[in-house]
Amino acid sequence: MNQLTDALHIPDTQSERDERHLAIQRVGVKDVRYPLQLKVAGAVQTTAAAWDLDVALPADKKGTHMSRFIAWLDALDAPLDAPGLRERHAQMLERLGAAEGRIEARFNFFLRKRAPVSGLASLLDYQGRWISETRAGVTSVFAEVGVPVKSLCPCSKEISDYGAHNQRSLVTIRVELLQDIEWHELVRFAEDQASSELWPMLKRVDEKWVTEHAYENPKFVEDLVRDVALALNRDPRIGRYRVQVENFESIHNHSAYARIDRA
């Protein structure tokens, strides 16, 4: 008996019937490190992502085929955008024989930025996330960015004779994509509303500009989260969203935090 014949006689235990009558809403693989290609600012970037992949399992089915998730990952051979993720999600469900499921990929990507005065160019890293979920026959795709910015306290500016306290902040924006949106566009929603955006490399003339620009544009954590939400409200490509801002306070040993959700 050859190997092919042997393989045909190996039991498929996962496909057996289960008599406990309990459906599983999410079963799959978690934190799988695998490459990901992205379209960022007109170019393709290759990064490493942490993937969570799962499907819903009916009550009468014993198990899912975990190796098929990895096979699906290995077949990702082109840069992924929102329409592509929808198509690939459908392929994953078909491969697993499932009606519902979820994909999540967490990664970093880079944008080349020019300093505001000197024009010096360098790369700044951002946090990114893809989320695609199919429930009750409807597939929703979300994109998320984590954007570091600078915030300056309006109260400190008002009451201090010299300067004002300021800190780095993290703006996290998760949006449901009704149409495709570029990653650099999502970043701008945060950077345009901050006291100042950040650059990885600055000359002294740039540092002077950033300091003075932030001083003239003070924002509480409440101001920043509201201003980002208002900008998202004006974009018809965006459905549901969540905006979170965390200020890593420079005069406290804790963070200030604010969040707005649109359901």
CATH number of the structural domain spanning residue 252: 3.10.270.10
Tens-digit pLDDT profile for residues 4-33: 555 566 766 666 777 888 999 999 999 999
Tens-digit pLDDT profile for residues 154-201: 999 999 999 999 999 999 999 999 999 999 999 999 999 999 999 999
Q: Helices (DSSP H) in 82-137: which residue ranges?
A: 82-96
Q: Is residue 192 part of a domain?
A: yes
CA angle 185, 193, 132 (to 5 degrees): 40
Give the range of the structural domain holding residue 175, as residue numbers without chain letter. 24-262
Grouping H, G, I as helix, E, B as strand and the rest as coil, residue 2 is coil
Q: Is residue 189 part of a domain?
A: yes
Q: Is residue 217 part of a domain?
A: yes
Q: Is residue 19 part of a domain?
A: no
Instruction: Say whether pLDDT at 82 is over 80.
Output: yes
Q: Is residue 8 part of a domain?
A: no
In the chain, the number of structural domains is 1
More confident site: 9 or 238 = 238
Q: Is residue 96 part of a domain?
A: yes
Q: Is residue 9 part of a domain?
A: no
Give the model's pLDDT for residue 100: 97
Give the model's pLDDT for residue 15: 67
First to last CA, the chain: 59
Grouping H, G, I as helix, E, B as strand and the rest as coil, residue 232 is helix
Block residue for tokens 């019937």: 17
